[in-house]
Amino acid sequence: MAHTIRWGILGTGGIATAFATDLLANGLILSAVGSRSAGGAERFAAEFGNPTAHSSYEELVADPDVDAIYVATPHPMHVANTLLALRAGKHVLVEKPFTLNALEAQLIADEAERSKLVVLEAMWTRFLPHMVRIREIIATGTLGEVHTVLADHDQKLPSDPSHRLNDPALGGGALLDLGIYPVSFAVDVLGLPTRILASATKTSTGVDRQTAIIFEHGETGRSVLHCALDTLGPNAATVIGTDARIEIDDTWYKPTTFRVIDAEGTVIESFDHPVVSRGMQYQAAELERLVNAGLRESELLPVSESVAIMGVLDEVRRQIGLVYPGE
Ligand SMILES: NC(=O)c1ccc[n+]([C@@H]2O[C@H](COP(=O)([O-])OP(=O)(O)OC[C@H]3O[C@@H](n4cnc5c(N)ncnc54)[C@H](OP(=O)(O)O)[C@@H]3O)[C@@H](O)[C@H]2O)c1
């Protein structure tokens, strides 16, 4: 596919660096970068082929040579940064979690509707080749009736209390950073939960260190999900149906391999598809496809589903007693 959308990256931290790397490795167009500081923007631009360096987010979104903005700031800033870009007439790919809570998510959905622009949550896993194939396998009925999703996202991350992940003021905690992956996956496979049960332990800074979640999806569906920010887990996922199951290998939310195993234990499909770079280009390509086709919603992740997922995370947080400053 020929790429015509000119990207602007808002924020210059860890994931912005990964995204820029993937854009350039796959022939997408990086037109500009915006940072809170001139030095930050210039350093980033020098590393990634000298796109225009803007010393404020306001300047970035006003750049006429930018069509779409990738919001790569900490979660509490997503709503303001995304509204800023939409109001400047830019399409937006906004990092996960979509926002801090469902109220903020709805503000974005409303603004995107009003401005007739594309907004897409950068839940990059949804757009990866193995997930596209898994969705096809489930849709064609190979698994029979799908009853169960098991998934964890457990990483050993920095314990520094001032790190974004541990700081309540920056939306810290395992759930919104890591737990959103199994939550979004369970919703993708089995739909929104009809009942939610959650239990967590906390860090000394008061955010969730580990959270265990059970979803009921109507009468037959159940999801068992886990996230943690200070222990490295298997990071595998399994989807179990009456006729077969899918075992997705470590690391299930990144480009990876999987097997479909029937009820007798025989492997009936093995998936192994090489992916160039980290794989963040697929979500950018999906936004580009929508814009070029004059579409506003991705079937893989509609805005309404991103809003609903924030509502699910709100309920998990209510049960584990996790409230962010200003909420
Ligand atoms: N998809 C994935 O695999 C993945 C992986 C990691 C993180 N993420 C998501 O990406 C977002 C950013 O995470 P990150 O790890 O890239 O964070 P990070 O390394 O801390 O970078 C965040 C950037 O946001 C900007 N920023 C604006 N206001 C800020 C504030 N008050 N404090 C700190 N930084 C601020 C800064 O850029 P300037 O100074 O240039 O303005 C900073 O470099 C999070 O929402 C996270 O969930 C996604």
In this structure, are 134 and 269 located in the same domain?
yes
Q: pLDDT band for position 93 (50/70/90)?
A: very high
pLDDT digits (tens, 9 = 90+) for 295-316: 999 999 999 999 999 999 999 9
pLDDT at 2 over 90: no
Query: How far is it, in rounded angstroms, from Cα 147 to Cα 139?
Result: 14
Domain that holds residue 35: 6-123+280-287
Residues 6+ apart with CB under 8 A from 95: 15, 70, 71, 72, 73, 75, 78, 122
CA–centroid distance, residue 48 to ligand 1 (Å): 17
Give the per-residue pLDDT at 181: 98
In this structure, are 94 and 230 located in the same domain?
no
In this structure, are 152 and 105 located in the same domain?
no
Q: What is the mean pLDDT of residues 232-260?
A: 98
Report the nearest-CA residue for atom 30 of ligand 1. 74
Query: How far is it, in rounded angstroms, from Cα 131 to Cα 124?
Result: 10
In this structure, are 192 and 258 located in the same domain?
yes
CA–centroid distance, residue 264 to ligand 1 (Å): 46
Residue 303 counted as domain residue? no
Return the SS3 of 226: strand
Q: pLDDT band for position 270 (50/70/90)?
A: very high
CB 283 within 8 A of CB 122: yes
In this structure, are 104 and 133 located in the same domain?
no
pLDDT at 4 over 80: yes
Nearest-5° angle of CA 309, CA 189, CA 26? Answer: 80
* Residue 286 C-alpha from the chain's centroid: 13
Q: What is the mean pLDDT of residues 78-83?
A: 98
Residue 1 counted as domain residue? no
In this structure, are 61 and 115 located in the same domain?
yes
pLDDT at 1 over 80: no
- State the SS3 of 46-71: HHCCCCEEECCHHHHHCCCCCCEEEE
Report the nearest-CA residue for atom 21 of ligand 1. 13
Residue 246 counted as domain residue? yes
b/e string for 267-276 if b means 16 or more Cβ within 10 A? Answer: eeeebeeebe
> Best of 33, 70, 73 to mutate for ligand 1, by most ligand atoms within 8 A of CB?
73
Q: pLDDT band for position 133 (50/70/90)?
A: very high
Report the nearest-CA residue for atom 26 of ligand 1. 73
CA–centroid distance, residue 202 to ligand 1 (Å): 22
Q: Relative to the CA of 40, which ligand 1 atom is closest?
A: 40
CB 149 within 8 A of CB 192: no
Residue 295 counted as domain residue? no
Residue 326 counted as domain residue? no
Sign of CA dihedral 154, 157, 162, 164: negative
Return the SS3 of 207: coil
Q: Relative to the CA of 81, which ligand 1 atom is closest?
A: 27
Residue 62 counted as domain residue? yes
If you search the block for the tokens 């080749």, which residue do you land on?
Answer: 129
CB 204 within 8 A of CB 162: no
Neighbours of 266 (CB within 10 A): 9
Give the per-residue pLDDT at 268: 98
Nearest to 256 by CA among 228, 237, 230, 229: 237
| Number of separate domains in the chain | 2
Neighbours of 287 (CB within 10 A): 23
Q: pLDDT band for position 236 (50/70/90)?
A: very high
Residues 6+ apart with CB under 8 A from 299: none
Residue 53 counted as domain residue? yes
pLDDT digits (tens, 9 = 90+) for 51-80: 999 999 999 999 999 999 999 999 999 999
In this structure, are 143 and 259 located in the same domain?
yes
Pocket of ligand 1 (CB under 6 A): 11-16, 35-37, 40, 72-75, 77, 95-96, 122, 124, 164, 170, 177
In this structure, are 21 and 142 located in the same domain?
no
In this structure, are 313 and 176 located in the same domain?
yes
220: domain CATH number is 3.30.360.10
Query: How far is it, in rounded angstroms, from Cα 127 to Cα 97?
Result: 16
pLDDT at 130 over 90: yes
Q: Relative to the CA of 36, which ligand 1 atom is closest?
A: 41
pLDDT digits (tens, 9 = 90+) for 7-54: 999 999 999 999 999 999 999 999 999 999 999 999 999 999 999 999
Kindly report the pTM of this predicted structure: 0.98
In this structure, are 83 and 206 located in the same domain?
no
Q: Relative to the CA of 73, which ligand 1 atom is closest?
A: 24
Which tokens go with 305?
Answer: 């589903």
End-to-end CA distance of the chain: 43
CA–centroid distance, residue 116 to ligand 1 (Å): 27
Q: Average pLDDT of the chain?
A: 98
Alpha helices in the chain (DSSP H): 14-25, 38-47, 57-61, 78-87, 102-115, 129-139, 174, 180-190, 281-293, 303-320
Residue 293 counted as domain residue? no
Query: How far is it, in rounded angstroms, from Cα 159 to Cα 164?
Result: 10
In this structure, are 106 and 133 located in the same domain?
no
